[in-house]
Structure 1
Amino acid sequence: MRKLPTHSTFSHPSHHADDATMASLHLADVTMFWAAESGGVKRYLRAKHDFLRSTHWRHTLVVPGTADDATNEIAVVPGVPLPLSHGYRIPLRSGPAEQALCALSPDLIEAGDPYRLSWAALRGGARLQVPVVAFYHSDLPAFFRRLGGPPAELAAAAYARKLYPHFDTVFVPSRYIAEKVADLGVQRIELQPLGVDTRLFHPARRSLRWREQLGLPRDARVLLYVGRYAPEKNLRVLCDAVDKLDDGSVLVTIGSGPTPPHGKHVRALPYEGDAQHLAAAMASADVFVHAGDQETFGLVALEAMASGVPVVTCSAGGLGELVNEHVGYAVPHCRADDFADGLHALRQRDPVALAHAARRHAMQYDWRVVLPQLLRRYLTLLGRQASARPETFPPAHERSRAARGR
């Protein structure tokens, strides 16, 4: 394999055209994180796809799947089912995705996972001479630490150091992840938060019927969790916390995965694929809870806030950046006692004021605010003038130098 460029030299004709040729701009997103029960990455891609329909951009997804999954806007490449992943497929070769990208001939490519498809994106971009960006949706070393301990974490970090410097830009959703990516030696990092559909997730969707269908008492305090049933989500902490409260609170969880929660005050529901039903569940809860301490952003917490629901989360990771004292609590330690204390304290506060504050906070992250920022970053990469300068994150050696100078 020939050496991939760390800085691309762009010569595609449309990159230097004036605004009259904007209709020719074509973005290709490539990722394996696309399945029937996908989470935040799929919501981001769908929101971006819907937004781009109202712009001069054309958008195509390149994802692993079967021939039945292909549409005019989805190019499918071969992939084998990934065990215990609830629908994800993983390509065994990068060649088909590279060929698909070259056939599409996009103006810009974005890679949404760190595996074979990222290398396909880089090779395709090098052949087409177009910019290639990555979105760092998951903390790769931390993920492999959970699977195989410190040796696996070191191997994943070494792999990430080889992969990510090749991209023209690496987008990160939080400063928590920006620090981690900078420590991998990546220098071209831009802080790009995710967003929320504040028209879909709205307090007006609150429904007594949703509670009645679950057989919950009218006066029950509903604590809601939405997400993967996986060890890193620390669901046992939430189950223990609601047991400690023993005040009529019920923990309702919506998701899928290998470790569904159990407990006398727990109602575990399956994955909800209908966006309207999920939005009704969000708005019908009294508190949203999440005990994950390694979240890269915290999209579901943002959806809860848009629904006018206060949140109690860990202060660690991306969630610690999203949640403040106006919208709930970010507890200092991911322990049942801390969550029980936070939930008890929240009960003493004005629920109407909390709901309004949560909604106001989420409005700052509306997709209609966030996605235009992302498009300006794309235009900058394409050599066009953007109306706002992207916020960048300095590499590790510059941060160290600044710290010494304080």
Structure 2
Amino acid sequence: MRVAIVTESFLPQVNGVTGSVLKVCEHLLSEGHRVLVVAPGPGPSRHELPGGASVPVVRVASAPLLGYAEQRLAVPGPRLAQALRGFRPDVVHLAAPAVLGAQAATLAQRTGVPAVAVYQTDLPGYARRYGWRGASEAVWRWLRRVHEMAARTLAPSRPVCAELVGRGFPDVSRWPRGVDVERFHPQFRDDALRARVAPRGELVVGYVGRLAREKELDLLKSVHALPGVRLVVAGDGPQRAHLQRVLPRAEFLGMVHGRELSHVFASLDVFVHTGRHETFCQTAQEALASGVPVVAPAAGGLLDIVDPGVNGTFFTPGDARGLADVVAGLSQDPGARRELAGRARASVAGRDWASVGRDLVENYRAVVPA
């Protein structure tokens, strides 16, 4: 098939949407499909993938998001229509459609090309979190209109599917995210890294991801204060300077990629995620594949990933004291922590990207006319 992937985010921006789009490209090309990516600029017009394959990228005009300059929003214009007309796709894949995705959904509907819309970002939740009064319901109405133009909506977790159905989104199916179980593996545990960040043998508790307000990272202050705990933060974003002020003893690693990221995950004793607005949470799944138990808020897509008492545990969303109590309990009970760690990797068995990619192609085939 000829698949046009229209995404609200792509390299050089690094986030969950970009990561899943890259994995989708890899799978489609490996199976012999043709792929075109359309994304906000600036950025290169071709991306090299592992194994020597590459995908063309059409860049459209964009502007920085107010209050978050690192995130760019597409500016609607003629370039998207020109790209789709020249590529002649069999299906249009809308990755986290909002602005550029809305334009693509409209064009696909007008030309009779089926679109599959992947709901991936909790924009209404972000609107509430950032204090845009009254905006949350308006965002929901807008997203429903966009998804109504698609032949199928794919959501990453059961809680998100249920919410979308409850809000009137049509034809919703679950499509989870895969995890690279070779790249994320307990074998990458790095004793030298652990000795550097926790020279006194402290419990190494880590967060990996964007450093932005919607992630509720101020909750980490309660973990940072625990005796015998060393907090490690990997990632970057607009809140980094603030977090470095309020978490002065934490180890900030900045952006890490490739094998270094594998070592960071596998070298943790506990992975903590703080934000309640995750539609899935890929980093939690990568921690589990690395043999690391996960502590997370009981909300959103994390409900599909964390199995309390099996591979991790929950705390009440927004409850800093509750988060600290859970981490302190794991610190004081190494036996329980080892049991969770021992079951973590098995809990993501069968979630490889090849299986997830095959499911995606089946969703394409279901909406493409025979």
Taking structure 2 as the reference length, what is the TM-score of the superposition? 0.89
Q: Report if aligned partners of 1:107, 1:131 keep a CA contact under 8 Å in 2.
A: yes
Structure 1 residues 233 and 81, CA gap change in structure 2 (3 angstroms): closer
Mapped pair 1:123 → 2:95? no
2:349 partner amino acid: M
1:368 aligns with 2:354: yes
Matches within 5 A, 1:101-116: 101-116=84-99
The answer (yes or no) to whether the contact 2:97–2:118 under 8 Å persists in 1 is: no
Q: Identify unmatched segments of 5+ residues in structure 2.
A: 48-54
Preserved CA contact (<8 Å) 1:32 1:63: yes
Looking at secondary structure, tell me which structure has more strand per residue: 2
| Letter of the 2:233 counterpart | T
Query: Which one of 236, 250, 262 corresponds to residue 230 of structure 2?
Result: 250
Q: Secondary structure at the match of 1:53?
A: helix
Q: Is the 8 A contact 1:36 1:87 kept in 2?
A: no
Residue 304 (1) aligns with residue 287 (2): yes
1 CA distance for matches of 2:271 and 2:321? Answer: 17
Matched-pair contact (CA < 8 Å) for 1:35–1:88: no
| SS in structure 1 of the partner of residue 130 of structure 2 | helix
Amino acid in the other structure paired with 2:352? D
Q: Give 1:183's aligned residue.
A: 166
Q: CA distance change for structure 1 residues 69 and 284 in 2, over 3 Å: closer, same or farther?
A: same
User: Residue 346 of structure 1 aligns with which residue?
Assistant: 330
Q: Distance in 1 between matches of 2:144 and 2:10?
A: 25
Q: Count matched residues.
A: 356
SS at the partner of 1:219?
Answer: coil
For residue 267 of structure 1, the aligned residue among 244, 251, 259 is 251
Is contact 1:172–1:190 with CA below 8 Å preserved after alignment? Answer: yes
Equivalent residues of 1:31, 1:113 under 8 A apart: yes
Give yes or no for the alignment of 1:196 onto 2:179: yes
Shift of 1:127: 4.4
Q: Deviations over 1:311-334 (max 9, x none)?
A: 111111111221012001112343
**Partner Cα distance (1:37, 1:132) in 2:** 24
How far does the alpha carbon of each residue in 1:278-312 deviate from its partner, in whole angstroms, 9 at most, with x for none?
A: 11100111110011112111110000000011111
Contact 2:41 2:62 survives alignment (8 Å): yes
What's the secondary structure of 1:340's corresponding residue? Answer: helix
Give 2:31's aligned residue: 55
Structure-2 change in CA distance of 1:223 and 1:37 (3 Å): farther
What is aligned with 1:65? 41
Structure 2 CA distance, aligned partners of 1:100 and 1:197?
Answer: 31
Question: What is the rounded CA distance, in whole Å, between the counterparts of 1:67 and 1:377 in structure 2?
Answer: 30
Instruction: Answer whether contact 1:160 1:184 (CA < 8 A) is retained.
Output: no
> Quick one: which of 153, 164, 174 aligns to 1:170?
153
Question: Residues 320-349 of structure 1: CA distance to partner in whole angstroms, max 9, x if unpaired?
Answer: 221012001112343122112212332423
- Alignment correspondent of 1:39: 15
SS of aligned partner of 1:228: coil
Distance 2:329 2:259 in 1: 31
User: In the TM superposition, what is the alpha-carbon distance from 1:359 to its structure 2 partner?
Assistant: 0.3
Q: 1:83 to 1:149 in 2, by over 3 A?
A: closer
In the alignment, the residues of structure 1 paired with residue 44 and residue 279 of structure 2 have an alpha-carbon distance, to the nearest angstrom, of: 32
The amino acid across from 2:3 in the alignment is L
C-alpha distance after superposition, 1:178-215 (max 9, x if no partner): 23222331121111111111111111111122234x44
| Correspondence for 1:142 among 97, 118, 125 | 125
Q: What is the TM-score when the length of structure 1 is the normalising length? A: 0.82
From 319, 323, 328, the equivalent of 1:335 is 319
1:58 and 1:257 map into 2 onto residues whose CA distance is 34
Cα root mean square deviation, aligned: 2.1
Secondary structure of residue in 1 paired with 2:17: helix
Partner of 1:319: 302
Tell me the equivalent position of 2:82: 99
1:26 pairs with 2:2 = yes
Query: How far 1:81 moved relative to its partner?
Result: 3.7
Which runs of 5 or more residues in structure 1 are unaligned? 1-24, 385-406
Q: Which moved more, 1:292-301 or 1:27-36?
A: 27-36
